[in-house]
Amino acid sequence: MTHTALRTIVVTGGAGFIGSALVRRLVLEPEYRVVVVDSLTYAGNLESLEPAMAYPNFVFEHINITDASSIRRCFDRYSPDVIYHLAAESHVDRSIDSPAAFIQTNVVGTYTLLEAALAEWKQRSAQQRSACRFIHVSTDEVFGSLGPEGSFTEATAYDPRSPYSATKAASDHLVRAWNHTFDLPAIVTNCSNNFGPYQFPEKLIPLVVHSAINGKPIPVYGNGLNVRDWLYVDDHVDALCRVADVGRVGHTYAIGGSNERTNIDVVRGICRILDDVCPNQSYQYEQLISFVPDRPGHDLRYAIDASRARTELGWRPAHTFEDALRETVLWYLRHELWSARVMSGEYRGERLGLGGNV
């Protein structure tokens, strides 16, 4: 095992949406060596990492996190100080259609990483161990569904409702068990709905933009009144960097944008932006909205109380929802070829998650 003067940071799922945003930030620090571990499934895209690839401290390893021997070789080679674990199957609709993949990646994959991280950590001296962190990036969906009032906190009981959230809940529990039982210096974060550039177009905001500019129906589940707390991805990255620097081992941090919006309000907001920046002469974009059968077991509302993150991490979002949404829409308009390329494989914008029922 060889140690270098650089602080080595491994980012699993680093070619995905949040992971690539984190990597693009980390490579700006010359004292970091940033190792991306990604199996490049449909949602992982090397184009999202192109801005980072120009930096000499960037490394890419094409590895599936369920491959224990490859993960161990990777950790032996690079000896990571910090592991950001973001690799996950993350789309609720897909978990309804194919839950087995979520169990493998989110549960078995997390176990595999924990075992490799623990083996690596045990090889270190006490002084070297003090700099190690295993940061597990999870979701607020593990807490279930809120009523019209209240917010999730770090003390909220788990109540997952979908195969996706159930597997993420299981992975959270594994990380806490490895911290409590084996003293692995782990931290769990639970974030609200992220949005921003480079998000795979199966998610709401990029799907709405893609559908609208192509003159296709804009699908809205049910009555569109489900509420989410929206978090701009760069603000989330800021929080994750703070977690590595000042977060307390064994703690959980709920990270949210304090931007509660109904789905229909988000969709209409996107339509208004599009009407402003690229008006269609034949219709307003809201006319494309089409209400479709709701997702099975669709949670009504999520909201996060991020008080601990503000107090212990000194973090708060830097972007307003309105400004970040506009910048996000403009990014997708400027990168239509990116969307077209990432959707050229198995996914073409079709409806997912009906579980065999219509």
Q: Residue 314: which H helix or E strand, with range?
A: none
Establish whether 47 is a catalytic residue: no
Integer Cα distance of 222 and 293 in angstroms: 5
CA-CA-CA-CA torsion sign (195, 196, 199, 204): positive
Beta strands 133-139 and 82-85: pairing type? parallel
**Burial class of residue 145, CB neighbours in 10 A (0-12, 13-18, 19+):** middle
Residues of the chain with pLDDT under 70: 1-5, 344-358
**What's residue 345's pLDDT?**
59
Task: Name the catalytic one among 140, 235, 299, 305.
Answer: 140
**What's residue 351's pLDDT?**
42
Using alpha carbons, list the distances in angstroms from residue 345 to 211, 254, 340: 17, 34, 10
Tens of pLDDT, residue by residue over 185-212, are 999 999 999 999 999 888 899 999 999 9
Q: Would you state the torsion angle of the CA atoms of residues 136, 140, 142, 148, taken in this order, to the nearest 10 degrees? A: 170
Integer Cα distance of 76 and 35 in angstroms: 13
Residue holding tokens 């807490």? Answer: 143
Task: Name the catalytic one among 93, 141, 260, 299.
Answer: 141
Residue holding tokens 């192509």? Answer: 214
Using alpha carbons, list the distances in angstroms from residue 81 to 37, 56, 165, 233: 15, 18, 28, 24
Residue holding tokens 């997952």? Answer: 160
CB atoms closer than 10 angstroms to residue 226: 20
pTM as predicted: 0.92
Q: Are 9 and 26 in contact (CB under 8 A)?
A: yes
Q: Which of 239, 216, 196 is nearest to 332 (CA)?
A: 196
Residue 210 has phi, psi (to 5 degrees) of -60, -45
Establish whether 164 is a catalytic residue: yes
As a whole number of Å, the end-to-end CA separation of the chain is 55
Q: Are 34 and 28 in contact (CB under 8 A)?
A: no
Q: Would you state the torsion angle of the CA atoms of residues 275, 281, 285, 289, taken in this order, to the nearest 10 degrees? A: 170
**What's residue 356's pLDDT?**
44
Domains of the chain (ranges; CATH) run 7-198+230-258+301-319 (3.40.50.720)
**What's residue 295's pLDDT?**
75
**What's residue 340's pLDDT?**
83
Q: What is the 3-state secondary structure (H, E, C) of 270-305?
A: HHHHHHHHCCCCCCCHHHHEEEECCCCCCCCECCEC
Q: Are 142 and 172 in contact (CB under 8 A)?
A: yes
CB atoms closer than 10 angstroms to residue 2: 7
Residues, the chain, total? 358
Establish whether 141 is a catalytic residue: yes
Integer Cα distance of 21 and 4 in angstroms: 25
One-character DSSP codes across 234-248: HHHHHHHHHHHHHPP
Integer Cα distance of 303 and 60 in angstroms: 35
Mention every residue, 6+ apart, whose C-beta is less than 8 A from residue 252: 154, 187, 188, 189, 190
Beta strands 252-255 and 186-191: pairing type? parallel
Task: Name the catalytic one among 32, 84, 164, 221.
Answer: 164
Beta strands 133-139 and 7-12: pairing type? unpaired
